[in-house]
Amino acid sequence: MDLTSIPIEQFVSNGVFAVLFVWLLIDTRKEAKQREEKLTVQIEKQNEAQDRIVQSLERLEQQISQLKEVK
């Protein structure tokens, strides 16, 4: 197919859709990256909270074992 045989109107209308597609692709990837960064921060916060819970449970377990030894 020869490009010169394509009417200019059809080429321009398809070019608009190509530009729109590229813009949507870039925008979607940018949003996905932002979402991933937020998710990573949330996971890190949850890990820190779980670490604090584990430390509290370990201290509680030590206190209980000390109380058992006193009795």
Coil/strand/helix, residue 7: coil
What pLDDT does residue 29 have?
97
Whether the pLDDT of residue 51 is over 90: the answer is: yes
Q: What is the mean pLDDT of residues 40-47?
A: 98
The distance between the two most distant Cα atoms of the chain, rounded to a whole number of Å, is 98
Rounded to an integer, what distance in angstroms lies between the CA atom of residue 71 and that of residue 65? 10
Q: Which domain holds residue 35?
A: 3-70
What pLDDT does residue 2 have?
61
Q: What is the mean pLDDT of residues 19-38?
A: 96
Rounded to an integer, what distance in angstroms lies between the CA atom of residue 63 and that of residue 71? 13
**Whole-model pTM?**
0.62
What's the total number of domains in the chain?
A: 1
Token pair belonging to 49 = 């909270």
